Amino acid sequence: MKHLISPLDLSPDELSDLLDLAQDIYSAPEKYSHCCAGKKLATLFYEPSTRTRLSFEAAMLNLGGSVLGFSSADSSSAAKGESVADTIRVMSFYADICAMRHPKEGAPLVASMHASIPVINAGDGGHNHPTQTLTDLLTIKSLKGHLDGLTIGFCGDLKFGRTVHSLINAMVRYPNTKFVLISPKELQVPAYIKEETLDPLNIPYEETTNLEEALPKLDILYMTRVQKERFFNEEDYIRLKDTFILDKQKMQLAKEDMLVLHPLPRVNEISTDVDDDPRAVYFEQANFGVYVRMALIMTLLGIKLD
């Protein structure tokens, strides 16, 4: 049984097949509209979500399947003290595949050890968010045409931003990737990512607090929100939340073909005056999320188009 807990659970070949499938679905979704007839997806969300949960549900509905689930811990038996292990054992009777979001790092991994259905990590605390990464890869591949040789700037909360951690892990597999890590000192990429991933693979990266200086070098700018819910005190959040704001003026410093991605939700870090810039692709990115999740559900269920 295959689960998706970390972005590296798919081999480079499997990932490449999955992105090809997602692009085919994107170009002709109607061909796939009955692929998952009779199958059920459970969305077990112990933390807030808009896009991830609803794009999973839209993906399964687009494939002709059905969905069930809960969207907050309070509305599930977690509020009564039930363990993730017990919940997933039972969900394995009710659904064919599940997507789980949880505030605790590692919860979806624990679930996968007790499940008899594929488990997809839909975000675990400040750790990983592999399906956002698939969305990001599909966006970059579709709009840039390739995933190699890119200089990617990550800007904002690189400490708690799980989308950043997962995308770094995925991008180091492509040749000639470079990173520019733009954050306040307090919100730098965790040491384990440098020590276990960037340094051993000799991936070129620089850390800076200056967005303006970084902008002209970038092929991709990945903006992120400061992760309010992961802060221990509100004062720090308030002090750091508006450190970087991308606006129309700063966009003049960027390459003409740089893409601006953001996993969303946006708070203040991208001014709405950037939205009309053709390089701002964050809403398109959210659309790609549905197609990549359709491809992922088919792949994990072992379903192929006849």
Chain contacts with ligand NCD (rule: CB under 6 A): 51-52, 123, 129, 132, 162-163, 224-225, 263-265
- Residue closer to ligand NCD, measured from CB, 40 or 162: 162
- Residue closer to ligand NCD, measured from CB, 35 or 168: 168
- Nearest-approach distance from CB 109 to ligand NCD, in angstroms: 17
- Nearest-approach distance from CB 30 to ligand NCD, in angstroms: 27
Helix axes 130-144, 162-171, angle to 10 degrees: 60
260: number of Cβ within 10 Å: 23
Q: Which residue is nearest to ligand NCD (CB)?
A: 263
- Residue closer to ligand NCD, measured from CB, 114 or 230: 230
Strands (E), the chain: 40-45, 66-70, 97-102, 119-124, 151-155, 178-182, 205-208, 220-223, 259-261
Assign residue 149 a region: left if phi > 0, alpha if psi is -120 to 50, beta otherwise?
Answer: left
List active site positions.
51-52, 80, 101, 129
Helix axes 12-27, 130-144, angle to 10 degrees: 70
- Nearest-approach distance from CB 198 to ligand NCD, in angstroms: 21
Which residue shows structure tokens 């509905």?
A: 61
- Nearest-approach distance from CB 286 to ligand NCD, in angstroms: 7
- Residue closer to ligand NCD, measured from CB, 65 or 161: 161
How many angstroms separate the CA atoms of 134 and 59, rounded? Answer: 14
- Residue closer to ligand NCD, measured from CB, 102 or 225: 225
- Nearest-approach distance from CB 262 to ligand NCD, in angstroms: 8
- For residue 28, what are the contacts with CB-CB under 8 A and spacing of at least 6? none
- For residue 126, what are the contacts with CB-CB under 8 A and spacing of at least 6? 105, 159, 160, 161, 162, 165, 227, 230
- Residue closer to ligand NCD, measured from CB, 16 or 188: 188
- For residue 6, what are the contacts with CB-CB under 8 A and spacing of at least 6? 121, 128, 130, 166, 169
- Nearest-approach distance from CB 264 to ligand NCD, in angstroms: 5
How many angstroms separate the CA atoms of 62 and 72, rounded? Answer: 24
